[in-house]
Amino acid sequence: MEAALNVARNTVPNLPADKIRHAIDSGEWTQAAELLAMHQHELAYALRKVDWATCDRGPWLELLLAQRALLGELQSARGQISTALERLNADHRGARAWLRELA
């Protein structure tokens, strides 16, 4: 049984979550997107080979949960950046208005 579980786990592509998180934390959005695209390609390839009638679905469900969690983190990070940009734009508009008043 354990051997069958290991075989099933070996067919599930590893989500490079740590590398993606590092890219996001470093502001390397292109690298994060490339890592996600590479994982998606590996996942699509692996899914074509799965015999769902005999496959242990547990590892696949674990991957799905990990993907959902990572996507939630991505959405949160993007939301924080969007909020920061809105504040920066508002500050910039305020500074321009202040400069106009001084002129």
Query: Which residue, among 57, 14, 69, 73, has the nearest Cα to 39 in the 3D structure?
Result: 14
CA-to-CA separations, 79 to 35, 36, 43, 86, 95, in angstroms, rounded:
20, 19, 27, 11, 24
pLDDT digits (tens, 9 = 90+) for 39-68: 999 999 999 999 989 999 999 999 999 999
Could you tell me the two tokens for 7?
Answer: 């075989």
> What pTM was computed for the model?
0.67
pLDDT band at 77 (very low <50, low <70, confident <90, very high): confident
Mean pLDDT over 33-41 rounds to 93
Domain hosting 11: range is: 2-102
Query: How many domains does the structure of the chain reveal?
Result: 1
CA-to-CA separations, 55 to 8, 12, 45, 48, 49, in angstroms, rounded:
7, 11, 16, 13, 10
Contact 71, 15 (CB under 8 A): no
| The dihedral formed by the CA atoms of 49, 37, 72 and 5, expressed in degrees to the nearest 10 | 30
